[in-house]
A and B are shown apart, each in its own frame.
Chain A
């Protein structure tokens, strides 16, 4: 069956632009996670949804970062007024429940010039 998909796979933005990154989780998965992976580092948690409810956004680095999952399936991570330090791979993962295995998408590589 289909896994977690993310689009676009690559995004180049000029500093100050807004970007939107999309995640399509595995059908029926209740939980959805966003992680940020800087070059040469491990992924770092950004935010977590259970269905449409955003239960944890403690990892969002600033108020320029915003995530939503309005219908409990597809999620969008939005970054406003992008900065160079936002350059990273953004990974989305989904799971059947909060304690189950997380399945990761291929990520979106964001480069801010």
Chain B
């Protein structure tokens, strides 16, 4: 049973436009959500997080929005750059359980 779902395996956008990556979850006990970025042949690297008590967190070109009632979060990248081409993973954790539950990832291609 997939508690964290990324329903779009891939996404393609033009350089300079907005990229929107989506993530849905089923466990209402999740209190932190994290986005990771992964390039081929490298390990994932942390990108941005959001607490369940917030609805938005912004870091430069990256903004994460959380809609708790819909159990949905999204990562916005504005403007998208070719170097953003990577696989993006959504992950979540609940309370004192430090384990992260991972989505399957969305492969983003930003075309020049």
Judge: A and B partners, yes or no. Answer: no
Which residue numbers of B lie inside 8 Å of A, CB to CB?
none
